[in-house]
A and B are shown apart, each in its own frame.
Chain A
Amino acid sequence: MKALIKLACAGLVLAALTGCAINRASATVDPGANLATVKSFHVKPHEKDERGVHQLIADNLRKRGYQVTVGPQPSVAVDATVTYVDKWMWDITMYMLELTINFREPRTDYPLATGNSLHTSLTRLSPPEMVDEVLGNMLKKEEKK
């Protein structure tokens, strides 16, 4: 019985620790990059993306007034390509835990700007909100340069 109680306590501590509200949002722009000159993007879908995150990114950039294409490789010349990594977690329902977005030089793949947001379950954001937060921080960072 005591062993079971100890196990239950350990489970509670674990649940308490993993349930902590962690929020992190950061963005960096390469000192040599000038995002103000970027007018067109090409969003490359992540090979394991089954949730359409590439479409959310493309829609968000279009709303901001950029020309956007989507696909494995750009069919026309663009100013920057967009790649991303999304991480999901389950807590009652699946939610987006972390999203990292990169703007890259099309020819060399060099990262021109990087944005990252992480929100754990208690402060979770919807996928469109996550995309908006990350892109907003990256483009705001450029304005402040």
Chain B
Amino acid sequence: MTRQPLALARRATAAGLVATALALGGCATPAHQESMAPVAVQSTKKLPFTVRVETRGGAATGLVDSSNVADADLKAAIETSIRQSGLFKSVTAGNEGDYVLTVSIAGLDKPMFGGAFTVTLDTGWSLVRASDRSVVLRKAVRSSHTTSMSEAFVGTTRLRLAVEGAVRKNISEGLQAIADAPL
């Protein structure tokens, strides 16, 4: 083999290694709040109450971290979903609201490496009546979403899509539990 084809082969190997690392690895893109709100949450139940949303247990995504769900982004996604579904009369801020909905992230299980990425989100949904602080709903919600390589080749994107999908399913199930609760 002459020098030129050898150099070409080395470059091809290097490019292949980088492509493989990109495809299999996953790091550092936070889940987008607009992609975490379920598209089709439709509630036949329309509650004549206002609600305030609080979220906890989330984490920001660091530079060398993998996709996380920040509290503020989860809160915004839940608020958007409630408005779109019409489940409550309105979403309030500050200390107002007939009910307080607290969603706590108990776990976000993400793969570090692989082909198809499956992410599992474990949350606790708690709905408290503001007037007497009585708990009307307490529910553990566990949701999973898998994103394949055909949906996103780059690992960072694939992981973010899997996280966003798990959040969407979690919000759908949580809001359904509220709709089913006797308020």
Chain A interface residues (CB < 8 Å from chain B): 1, 3-4, 6-7, 10, 14, 17-18, 20, 22, 24, 26, 28, 30-32, 85, 87, 89, 100, 102, 104-105, 108-112, 114
Name A's interface SS: mixed
B68 to chain A, nearest CB (A): 10
Q: Can you list 26 A-B pairs, Cβ within 8 angstroms, ordered by A? A: A3-B10, A3-B11, A3-B14, A4-B14, A6-B14, A7-B17, A18-B64, A20-B64, A22-B62, A30-B102, A30-B104, A30-B124, A31-B102, A32-B126, A85-B109, A89-B112, A100-B106, A102-B107, A105-B138, A108-B140, A110-B126, A110-B140, A111-B122, A111-B124, A114-B106, A114-B107
The closest CB in chain A to the CB of B125 belongs to A110
Q: Are A7 and B59 neighbours in the complex by a CB distance under 8 Å?
A: no
Closest 9 CB pairs of A and B: A111-B106, A111-B124, A109-B140, A3-B10, A7-B14, A114-B106, A3-B11, A28-B57, A110-B140
Measuring CB to CB, which residues of chain B are less than 8 angstroms from any residue of chain A? 7, 10-11, 14, 17-18, 21, 56-57, 59, 62, 64-65, 102, 104-107, 109, 112, 122-124, 126, 128, 135, 138-140
Q: How distant is the Cα of A31 from the Cα of B126 in the complex, in angstroms?
A: 9
Measured between alpha carbons, how far is A105 from B17 in the docked complex, in Å?
A: 47
Name the A residues within 8 Å of B21 (CB-CB): 14
Which of A1, A4, A30, A102 gathers most chain B CB within 10 Å? A30
CB distance from B154 to the nearest CB of A (A): 16
